[in-house]
Amino acid sequence: MLEVCERICGTGGGLLCKEVGTEMKATEEEFNIMSSPEFIEIEKDLNLAGFGKHVKCRVQNTIQKKQSAYMQNKFGLTALNTNVLLMLDILRLCIFQYAKKLFLSEQAGRIHLQEFARQNAANALSLTNLVMGLSSILCNLNGHPHYACWFLLFGFLLDLADGAVARQLNACSALGAKLDDFADFTTFGIATSMLLQAQGILNGVFVICYVMAVFARLCFFSSGIPFVYRGLPCPYASAILACTSILTGGNRFILYIAAVVMILFMTDQGNYPHDKVLESQIWKKVVYIGGLMVLFCCPLWLACIYYLIWCFSYTLFPSTLWSCKR
């Protein structure tokens, strides 16, 4: 046992151990002595010599005193300072854990927000279309037909975009389809009928007929063929009436003739291809972007000419010009 203690001293480590008759000096390497092979061998020799756990506890207490004295001499730390450092370490760990948890929760919230935006981007466009229809109604009631027509043309562009956005983001849903139909009925049915300026019973009946034609077109005129419409889509009829109202100065006779023609086209049994303006050929996307530019950057009468050419080309030559395969 004494030989083992002398071997520990030779390595630079030392421990005051009165029971084994050896005195060691405290150095920085002593802190790991409890787990060193030499100490394990000492422990075995002490147990064989019959000293038992008593000597082991004395040795451990001596090491702890040496460590405390070393820290105090080297760093000027007292027991209070040591406790303060321990508390600071605990506080630092808690702050780290809280920051980690907060970061993970923010990341999860960001992912949830992105998913919510993806699923409802098309619905937001449909709601905007609905707002355009309501705004058009208010403008008509307050005697501003030009603004009412502008809102209808903007709703026309929004209606072409919401379906494309829903398909591109894989966010098609039953709620989106119902919301789109409701927005279409409000904007291209009720708001467009306000342009006819119903005065008297006969005019009122005619306006009701136009609204019911839009309603029937939305509810019952399904072709059963994917991306094929049966009857002229009501956004095109609405855009034609809005442009006619602007270019004729709100001439009621011409508006009523145009409305009758649009009713016939909407209730027609002919098939109209899904134009897919934003999902097919580049020239169709150019037409759509041109519609945006003339609506926001050009006089309204010039924008109306552009939209009339666009809508009449789809109405009169649907398969020749606007087929999805072209």
pLDDT at 72: 53
Residues of the chain with pLDDT under 50: 1-34, 46, 48-52, 74-75, 77, 80
pLDDT at 82: 56
Please give the pLDDT value at position 120: 86
Q: Please name the amino acid found at residue 200.
A: G
What pLDDT digit, counting tens, does each position of 267-286 carry? 887 888 876 777 778 888 99
Q: Is the pTM of this model over 0.85?
A: no
User: How many of the other CB atoms lie within 10 Å of CB of 122?
Assistant: 25
**Distance, CA of 261 to CA of 257 (rounded, Å):** 6
Q: Are 316 and 324 in contact (CB under 8 A)?
A: no
For the chain, the domains span 2-80, 119-322
Which residue, among 248, 194, 181, has the nearest Cα to 221 in the 3D structure?
Answer: 181
CA dist., res. 210 & res. 255, Å (int): 12
Query: What percent of the chain has pLDDT above 70?
Result: 68
Q: What pLDDT, on a 0 to 100 scale, did the predictor assign at position 116?
A: 78
Give pLDDT tens digits for 189-202.
999 999 998 888 99
Residue 174 pLDDT: 83
What tokens does 31 get? Answer: 């802190």
Please report, for the chain, how many H helices and E strands are present, in that order: 13, 2
Sequence-distant (6+) residues with CB within 8 A of 25 are: 14
Whether domain 119-322 has CATH 1.10.8: the reply is: no
What is the token pair recorded at 250? 């709100």
pLDDT score, position 326: 52
pLDDT digits (tens, 9 = 90+) for 200-243: 899 999 999 999 999 998 887 665 566 678 889 999 999 999 99
